[in-house]
Structures are given as structure tokens and as C-alpha cells.
A = this chain, B = another copy of it.
């Protein structure tokens, strides 16, 4: 069987590298007599590249070549990836993708085509880079009802937050450093605004709860407004601020899903997931808490997940994988304001003592937090748990203080 790669960027070139480097053991595991890379599709030139002879610019060469049984899509973006992938599936080819945008937006549609054509559409690399998560969720944990899944799904923002926490650097300085080091993109919007984490939690939620969850349905906040002051108060609380993506089952026809910075207590397994690492916590009804930890991005980790899927396609040719991923439904994702939470509130006030008294009267039992060298007008506290709507409504009545930060508190 022959393999084609569409998109010769970081991940695509990693796939070519892993296929070559571990060719012998991959072939053995594929249980095929032959599994070779035949084409690499890219519109760019790569003069002198070791795979130059495989490079093509015409997608139809791949589509119409019956020798090509498995197509790897590592182009990223929705177009033309969606058109190419759906055409390949329709032509009876297995497709393996690392493209989280594609899977988050078009997963249901593509899985439906794959099912009709009795081929596989696999996407282990789209969440958590090399960390095995899609297959464990859809297979190993199949006997569980998953109550909740929450995780640190974006390495760039976790790197930035870790530097802020451990070295007291401010957001802008770390972002610049991360860009200089190649940990963050020149346009870091998708990472720092939470869009990347949002796509990933959409994929996990769709897989686990059985209906397609679209990114626009998920309330998403990034980390751009997190300050060192927030980080210091979090430490006083015995916790850390992390960008957390969450999905939770409410009932048969409703889930909660959100991406936002959260104050994570030190006892949580996620509190020690640092730097560019990802961590995913799954709560199952039978299994209890399970955590998956590893590098969530990077050329070779991601490529190795792609190649794992390629091997699986080769092995199970003619036998498609089952994902219980159905169509989305209006109103399926609940309004996040109806969810229960505690809030960390940092604010300023002319008279912080009076403001704290007012906060106590409004919220009831609050937990006061302190940090060294806080400005005289600053105050910070944690509210009791209530629906977010109720807490925000109460906060709006507190004219005596001006909120500077409002961050949700994770359960420990």
C-alpha cells in the first residue's frame, strides 16, 4: 500500500521522517508487505530536500492513484483541506489528519462520508499532539460514562503561564520570549485567545458525548488579561492559574463546555502540568480519575501520533473504526452562565475595607487573599459557589469596587 502526505510543513515533514526512520518496525506492525510514501503534496518548492522527488503540486495525482490507500492531511486550515479530505474519503482512501480546525468544524461530516465508504478517518494527533487520547477515550474507556473531561490542551499558553508563575515575568515579556524561541507563532491569536484549546475540547466533547460540538458554541476566554497580581493571589490560595478546557455531561441532551483561565488548587493533578506539556483529566463513572500527560505539540510527537493512525489504517483495512460522533443539535451546549462556580475577584476601591464589608454582605462567606506589596487600593477574594449568572449580577451591584480580574475557580 502507498501513502501520500498533503502539506509538507512541520508535522508533514515529521511524518515523512518517522515513516523513514522506523520503517522496518512500522511495516511489521502494519502487517502489510509494503507501506511506502509515494507523494507529498505542497505548493511550495523544497530544493535539495531529501524527499524532493516525491513532491507534487496537483492533488488529482493523489486522488486518482489507486495505489494510494492512505492519505495523511497535515495542511491545517479548513480550505482546501476539507475538499481534499472529503474527496479522498469518497474515493475509498483512508485519511489520517492532525488538523484540529478541520476535525472540530467538520468531524461529523467527514466521519459520515468515511462510514458510507467503509474507510477510516482518524485524527489522534489533532488533540494532545503525541499523547494518546482519542483512542483511549473511544476504545479503552468505552465501558465508562464520562462525567467530565478537562485539561490543559495548549502548550504555548501553558508555557507562558508557567513562566509568569515561576519567574514572575509579565505576559507581554513571556509572549515575546516565546515568539523568539519558536514556542509561539508570529500571530499568536489562536493560542493566547483560547481558540486552539477550544477546537480541541470540541473534538473531545463530540467524541465522548456523541453529538458534534462546534467551536462557536463554546464560551472561550484567553489568557491575555492575566496579570502577575492574579498569579500572586493564586499562590496565596495555594493554586496556580491555568488555561483550562472543560466539557461536562449535564443530562442526555445537554452538556457544559468552556475554555477559560482558571484558578486550579494545588491538589489537582493538573496544577503540576508545566511548560509546554499538556495534561488531560478524564472522570469516568467506573474508572474514576485518569490523567494523560505529555508533550502536546512538536514535530515528532505529533508525527508519531499520525503514523500510529497510519499503521492502524493499514492493519484494519476494510474494517472501519467506530466513533459515536453524531450530528450537533441546537441548544445542546448549555449557557455557561448557568453553571455553578466560585469566582476569584481582584478589584480596586477607594476604601478596600468598606468594599470588603460590602462584598461579604453581597456574597456571604468570602475567602480573603493577600499578596506582598499589593497597592493600597487593591483587594482580592474568592466568592462562595453559585451560578455564574448570580455571582456576576451580584458583582455588578457592588459599585463600591471596580473589578480588575474575574477568574473561575476549579474544583480540587
Pairwise interchain contact A324-B29, C-beta atoms closer than 8 A: yes
Q: Is A103's beta carbon under 8 Å from chain B?
A: no
Pairwise interchain contact B287-A304, C-beta atoms closer than 8 A: yes
A163 to chain B, nearest CB (A): 17
Q: Is A311's beta carbon under 8 Å from chain B?
A: yes
Interface-forming stretch among A127-135, A168-176, A184-192, A353-361? A127-135
Q: Which 7 A-B pairs have the closest CB atoms?
A: A143-B307, A132-B140, A286-B304, A290-B294, A130-B287, A132-B136, A291-B293
Whole-angstrom CA separation of A306 from B14 in the bound complex: 35
Q: List 10 A-B contacts (CB under 8 A).
A: A25-B145, A29-B322, A124-B140, A143-B305, A143-B306, A269-B293, A286-B307, A287-B295, A287-B301, A287-B305
Whole-angstrom CA separation of A324 from B136 in the bound complex: 19
Residues of A282-312 contacting chain B, CB below 8 A = 284-295, 298, 300-301, 303-308, 310-312
How many interface residues does A have (CB within 8 Å)? 53
Q: Is A28's beta carbon under 8 Å from chain B?
A: yes
Known: A286-B18, A292-B292. A308 touches B142 (CB 8 A): yes
Q: Is A315's beta carbon under 8 Å from chain B?
A: yes
Whole-angstrom CA separation of A305 from B22 in the bound complex: 30
Pairwise interchain contact A300-B322, C-beta atoms closer than 8 A: no
Pairwise interchain contact A294-B304, C-beta atoms closer than 8 A: no
Q: Is A66's beta carbon under 8 Å from chain B?
A: no
Q: Is A60's beta carbon under 8 Å from chain B?
A: no
Pairwise interchain contact A308-B140, C-beta atoms closer than 8 A: yes
Whole-angstrom CA separation of A289 from B273 in the bound complex: 13
Contact with B along A135-147 (1 / 0, CB 8 A): 1100111111100
Pairwise interchain contact B304-A284, C-beta atoms closer than 8 A: yes
A43 to chain B, nearest CB (A): 27
Q: Is A272's beta carbon under 8 Å from chain B?
A: yes
How many protomers of this protein does the assembly include? 2
Chain B residues with Cβ under 8 A from A399's Cβ?
A: none
In the complex, the chain B residue whose C-beta lies closest to that of A305 is: B140
Pairwise interchain contact B294-A291, C-beta atoms closer than 8 A: yes
CB contact between A300 and one of B29, B287, B291, B301 (< 8 Å): that residue: B287
Residues of A214-266 contacting chain B, CB below 8 A = none
Whole-angstrom CA separation of A277 from B310 in the bound complex: 33
Known: A289-B294, A295-B289. A26 touches B143 (CB 8 A): yes
Q: Is A53's beta carbon under 8 Å from chain B?
A: no
Pairwise interchain contact B26-A142, C-beta atoms closer than 8 A: yes
Q: Is A319's beta carbon under 8 Å from chain B?
A: yes
Q: Is A34's beta carbon under 8 Å from chain B?
A: no
In the complex, the chain B residue whose C-beta lies closest to that of A311 is: B142
Contact with B along A14-47 (1 / 0, CB 8 A): 1000100110011011010000000000000000
Chain B residues with Cβ under 8 A from A288's Cβ?
A: 130, 294-295, 298, 300-301
In the complex, the chain B residue whose C-beta lies closest to that of A281 is: B293
Q: Is A316's beta carbon under 8 Å from chain B?
A: yes
Pairwise interchain contact B131-A304, C-beta atoms closer than 8 A: no
CB contact between A143 and one of B22, B141, B143, B291 (< 8 Å): that residue: B22
Known: A294-B289, A295-B288. A139 touches B312 (CB 8 A): yes
Most interface-central of A22, A25, A130 (chain B CB within 10 A): A130
Pairwise interchain contact A286-B301, C-beta atoms closer than 8 A: yes
CB contact between A304 and one of B29, B130, B143, B298 (< 8 Å): that residue: B143
Whole-angstrom CA separation of A272 from B143 in the bound complex: 28
Pairwise interchain contact A29-B142, C-beta atoms closer than 8 A: yes
